[in-house]
Structure 1
Amino acid sequence: MLKKLALSISIATSILSFSTFSSAEDFKILKQIESKPTFLKKGEYAGHYYIPSTLNTIQWGYLPNKDAKPVLTVRSGSHVTFDTVSHEGLLEDQGRDAEKYFTSKGVKKEHILDEAKLITRSNLKHDFHKDGPHIITGPIYVEGAMPGDVLKVEIIKIEPRVPYGVISNRHGKGTLPEFPKRQKHDHASPENPDAYGNVSVFTPIAQNKEGVWEGVIQTESGKAIRFPLNPFMGTMGVAPNTSEPVHSVPPSFYGGNIDINDLTTGATAYYPVQVPGALFYTGDSHFVQGDGEVALTALEGSARATFKISVLKAGKNHIPGKQLSQPLGENGEFWITPGLDEDLDEAMRKSTREAINFLVNEYGISEEIAYAYLSAATDFEVSQVVDKTKGIHAMIRKADFKEFIEQK
């Protein structure tokens, strides 16, 4: 039975090769622009600061803390473009060999990012069992940012760098403890990755008849599941005020691996500054993620992320909700208040309290009215349940408060 199941999984993960899709050949691979962090004076991103993912600009499995050395200093109000590298396809249970892993799925060598090859071929230490999986790029020092201020991060554009990603399910990591059903062996290692018993589904992206890019999962029957993309950065945040190592998996008051799929192109995230310069970072790019992220990962792949990063000074600039003790999000339609806790019920309570506090401070209404409104008109969504600290966020519709905005 186990052999039959393993064969089924093998078919599901390998029958669809990258070369199956002619549209993949039309995809523009977003290669590294410069080898070092710099200010770009020409090209498509002229006027942007640029941060590549090199061995000098990344951390693998941990977030920057207050002692992290910034890779670049930028002015408030600057546009900053990060080239990030996804950890999927690079981890030990995938062989820690980006070229070998992706070529085994039919990807041509020239369609594999040089940075991914460099990271997996390097001596950069990474403990699969102890460290977080994420490759984090940064941090950058933002001039003028001080504790008590808020860092405003406007998400200008998230662009897939390659036309493929990976969806993974690992033992003890997803929502369902019985998955994956493959057996795990003690002799698992990067040299023997199958012994981990984990499941990674290589997933190309391809254009449909309308020219829109979709994720494509081939099934055992030969028929494909196709679903729309919504690229966003799973991890964004500022450094916490600690010298202790900060694991990349659980999100917290400083942001990190918050995995809210509404924080995509056109949205804005706000982070309470913890240390001078804020020390902003990003990584863990997702091509698309369902609410919950139940298997463990979303469709994850390397992306280029462009932000406008500004400092909102305490007592001087308008800070949504007046003051923040944790991240806040917004897009054109909604305010987004996260709740984070290891217990999903408590995460729900925290999100509700954050939503009440926000409405009271932003619009001057009573707590009782805010609570009643949230119950009647606000959806609470599960962002993820697989990052140790679970997340629920309220989606507060801005249009419902148009009279307050007009009055202002």
Structure 2
Amino acid sequence: MAKTLIKIDINQSPYENENIHNRWHPDIPMAVSVKPGDDFIVECYEWTGGQIQNNDSAEDVRDVDLTKVHFLSGPIEVEGAEPGDLLEVDIMDIGTLAESQWGFNGFFSKENGGGFLTEHYPEAQKSIWDFNGIYTKSRHIPGVEFAGIIHPGLIGTMPSHEMLKEWNDREKELYDTDPNRVPGLVNLPFAKTAHMGKLQGSEKESAAATAARTVPPRENGGNCDIKDLTKGAKIYFPVYVKGAGLSVGDLHFSQGDGEITFCGAIEMAGWIHLRVNLVKNGMEKYAIKNPIFKPSPLTPNYNDYLIFEGVSVDEQGKQHYLDVQVAYRQAVLNAIEYLKKFGYSGAQAYSLLGCAPIQAHISGVVDVPNACATLWLPTEIFDFDINPGANKPEKNPKDISDLPLAINPPQIKS
């Protein structure tokens, strides 16, 4: 039996757990140490550290403090790992905590995080999902049930001091192009809410001032939100510091490609069983700059899809040049409008596309001026027929249960 090296208490603040951190910085001490070939288990908080509750109000999503995220388990030292190596990580298994058999999806308000369709859905909303073995369904989105592809949204290695400076310099340069943008272009270092694991005192204060936020994916992996990194997958991470400093968190029960609502998966607390090995000098040997991975042989077996196209023409009719982001947004909006014809609200449809195992494909990037992106929606997750020509369900899903909104005024943060 693999040993659990990092344990959590979901009723305890992650700030009280020294084996947890919420920033990237090479001075954060290693929480635990393993050897190449070892396999082990770590437990993980849900990414906000317990700020979101299992209820029918979205006030917690609206008022969430995003300077605190993500809470990661680690860093894990791999003995013998040196800069330039590749850290080979096998995801052996991954699951939910017995005491926390639910997860959530949410839209952040435009003023506090935003999202892929924030201009269309600027207010905070959320859906709660209950787990039943490998399956999940939501009281807020009737008529669907599907198997989850449980995976870590965030997993990566520690940056070196040189790489950290590179991150901060390039992101500050982007931030300075529009510092007042809402939502913001970049999440800059913010020392006040930094949790630096075992690092304390003046050393903590100094490191926290430049520690990188965990929001974006970077060269070390990080917040890539790849749904296919489920049990059975293998990942090769570049190593930038002695010991590698592997950290993991932001576990998802299920997610569609793109994590389109930003809080866009079914977020959960849980555990992950990993095995590590080293490929010495692997970065140079194989020209690795960003992580690469081999997918799992285990995926939900859906055989029937409706596929929605989008091209590089935005909602206002403006032509863009081979813009894949615009094209995928149009595919998402087209799918939402289609699902609204079967009785879902726009918010229900948007949340569902963030949670269900939809596929996103870049289908064409050479036919100027339009890129073509596609969204693959599995029809078998619905308990009624959603194909063209089908009858609408007898009960209107949005009339049974729509997504909760925030009703009370926002909390005033000190």
* TM-score normalized with structure 2 length: 0.53
**CA pair 288-278 structure 1, distance change in 2 beyond 3 A:** same
Separation (CA, whole Å) in 1 of partners of 2:221 and 2:103:
24
Contact 1:88 1:166 in 2 (8 A): no
Residue aligning to 1:169: 107
Asked if 1:157 corresponds to 2:117, the answer is no
1:136 aligns with 2:91: no
> What are the residue-to-residue correspondences of 1:228-377 with 2, within 5 Å?
228-242=147-161, 244-296=210-262, 297-314=264-281, 322-331=286-295
- What's the CA shift string for 1:200-243, capped at 9, x where partnerless? 21111225xxxxx32212347xx432122110001110001126
- Alpha-carbon distance, 1:380 to partner: 7.7
Q: 1:130 to 1:262 in 2, by over 3 A?
A: closer
- Given the alignment, which residue of 35, 40, 44 partners 1:75? 35
- Kindly provide the CA deviation profile for residues 1-45 of structure 1, in whole angstroms up to 9, marking residues without a partner as x: xxxxxxxxxxxxxxxxxxxxxxxxxxxxxxxxxxxxxxxxxxx43
Identity within the alignment, %: 27
Higher relative contact order (CA 8 A, sep 6+): 2
C-alpha contact (below 8 Å) 1:171/1:179 kept by paired residues: no
| CA–CA separation in structure 2 for the residues paired with 1:346 and 1:327 | 22
Q: Summarize deviations over 1:267-286 as a string: whole Å, max 9, x none.
A: 00111100100000000000
Determine whether 1:214 maps to 2:163.
no
- The CA deviation at 1:71 is 0.8
- In structure 2, the partner of 1:189 is none
State TM-score, norm by structure 1. Answer: 0.54
Q: What is the aligned-residue RMSD (CA, Å)? A: 3.3
**What CA distance in whole angstroms lies between the structure 2 residues aligned with 1:344 and 1:274?**
35
Distance 1:89 1:156, change over 3 A: same
Structure 2 residue 130 is matched with structure 1 residue 204: yes
Q: Does 1:56 align with 2:15?
A: no
Identify if the C-alpha distance between structure 1 residues 292 and 380 changes in structure 2 by more than 3 Å, giving closer, same or farther.
Answer: closer
Mapped contact 2:109–2:118 kept (Cα < 8 A): yes
Conserved? CA contact 1:157–1:307, under 8 Å: yes
Q: Distance in 1 between matches of 2:294 and 2:78?
A: 21
**Match of 1:325, SS?**
coil
Whether the aligned pair in 2 keeps the contact of 1:165 and 1:203 (CA below 8 Å) is yes
Aligned AA (1:51): I
- Cα–Cα, structure 1 residues 89 and 151, in superposed 2: closer, same or farther, change >3 Å? closer
Contact 1:235 1:257 in 2 (8 A): yes
Change in CA separation of 1:89 and 1:246 when aligned onto 2, cut-off 3 Å = closer
The AA in structure 2 aligned to 1:284 is: D
In 2: Cα distance, 1:129 partner to 1:57 partner: 21
Name the SS for the 2:272 alignment partner: strand
Task: Output the CA distance in 2 between the equivalents of 1:321 and 1:166.
Answer: 42
Aligned length: 244
Instruction: Give the AA of the match of 2:21.
Output: Q
Matches of 1:344 and 1:266, distance apart in 2 = 35
In the alignment, the residues of structure 1 paired with residue 254 and residue 267 of structure 2 have an alpha-carbon distance, to the nearest angstrom, of 7
Distance in 2, matches of 1:79 and 1:320, equals 26
Structure 2 Cα separation of the partners of residues 344 and 164 of structure 1:
40
Alpha-carbon separation, structure 2, partners of 1:229 and 1:333? 15
SS of equivalent to 1:153 = strand
Q: 1:246 and 1:346, CA in 2 relative to 1: closer, same or farther beyond 3 A?
A: farther
1:128 is displaced (CA, Å) by 5.0
Any gaps of 5 or more consecutive residues in structure 1?
A: 1-43, 95-100, 106-119, 121-126, 183-197, 208-212, 335-342, 348-378, 383-391, 393-408
Q: Is the 8 A contact 2:49 2:71 kept in 1?
A: no
Paired residues for 1:7-86 under 5 Å: 44-45=1-2, 48=3, 50-53=5-8, 55-60=17-22, 62-63=23-24, 65-86=25-46
Do the aligned residues in 2 keep the contact of 1:132 with 1:249 (CA within 8 Å)? no
Alignment of 1:91-130 (within 5 A): 91=51, 94=52, 101-102=53-54, 104=55
Residue 128 to residue 150, structure 1, CA distance change in 2 (3 Å): same
5+ long unaligned stretches in structure 2: 9-13, 162-206, 299-320, 326-358, 363-372, 374-414
CA change 1:333–1:215 in 2 (3 A) is closer
Q: Structure 1 pair 273/200, CA: closer, same or farther in 2 (3 Å)?
A: same
